[in-house]
Amino acid sequence: MSDHSIDELKVIARELRYDTIKMISEAGSGHPGGSLSAADVITALYFKTMRHDGKRPHWPDRDRFVMSKGHAAPILYAALAKCGYFPSKLLSTLRKTGTCLQGHTDSTLTPGVDMSAGSLGQGLSVGIGMALAARLDKKDYQTYVLLGDGECQEGQIWEAAMFAANYKLDNLTAIVDYNGIQLDGFTRDIMNLEPFVDKWRAFKWELIEIDGHDMQQIITALETAKKTKGKPTVVIAHTTKGKGVSFMENNVDFHGKALNKSETDIALKELS
């Protein structure tokens, strides 16, 4: 946990977005849109809320973080590098042969990564396992799971939601990056999630709804979640796909497509 001010956190979030665009462009592939939409939440977690130490990635008392939407790995890598888990120069190796920074998170390769990702829908179940382990081991660490809205169309998410509420896992916080866009279109057109808030409440979760780009709202929500007792908390973070780069915002094309050179130059200039 740190004493960064809101203004300092906003600067960090912009720097993480900058690094994310740069590494995906250098790799020539990746998922920029959902990485940028999650930048403010990741910043709040790693630079304000979570208890962790870049020099001790396996510290038993650290808070756990699960990137369930594992294709947004670049924004996590940018944060981990800035926190000292590995040298920043490694960011330029994203998706290259032999790198520890794969296209989806890999806990066996990357310092600071708590779950290997790939197939969507599994992260909440893994987070539940971590939260249960904390209870059994009488540890006070928190577990945070970042979900994509598209993956909330997966049945496993709702089985996990039912389980977490049944066992009153109040040391578990799920955060939904609700940007409204998935791989090939808008969620409302592919598999409409609404009424989304009502679904989580029906599954007996504490629910907090916020602007996922308002740093103060994010921090307040995470602090409230930590204080909530007797049930897990879900934070519905309304975000914008591609946030921070004008031509990427709300643009389906940039879910899983790297920017070309001219686009990269414009994006980096906007984020400078």
Find the CATH number of the domain harbouring 245: 3.40.50.970
Q: Is residue 262, in this structure, part of any structural domain at all?
A: yes
Phi, psi for residue 40 in degrees, rounded to 5 = -70, -40
**Stretch 220-230: mean pLDDT:** 98
Confidence of residue 13 (pLDDT cuts 50, 70, 90): very high
Burial grade of 48 (CB within 10 A; 0-12, 13-18, 19 or more): buried
**Residue span of the structural domain in which 162 resides:** 6-271
User: Residue 1: pLDDT above 70?
Assistant: no
Confidence of residue 3 (pLDDT cuts 50, 70, 90): confident
- Do the bridges between strand 143-148 and strand 206-211 make them parallel or antiparallel, or are there none, so unpaired? unpaired
Give dist(CA 146, CA 258) in Å, integer: 22
- Do the bridges between strand 181-182 and strand 185-186 make them parallel or antiparallel, or are there none, so unpaired? antiparallel
Confidence of residue 2 (pLDDT cuts 50, 70, 90): confident
Q: Is residue 215, in this structure, part of any structural domain at all?
A: yes
- Number of domains composing the chain: 1
Q: Is residue 1, in this structure, part of any structural domain at all?
A: no
Which of 13, 2, 60, 25 has its CA nearest to residue 267? 25
Average per-residue pLDDT for the chain: 97
**Stretch 102-126: mean pLDDT:** 96
pLDDT digits (tens, 9 = 90+) for 128-173: 999 999 999 999 999 999 999 999 999 999 999 999 999 999 999 9
Q: Indicate whether this model's pTM tops 0.85.
A: yes
pLDDT digits (tens, 9 = 90+) for 26-60: 999 999 999 999 999 999 999 999 999 999 999 99
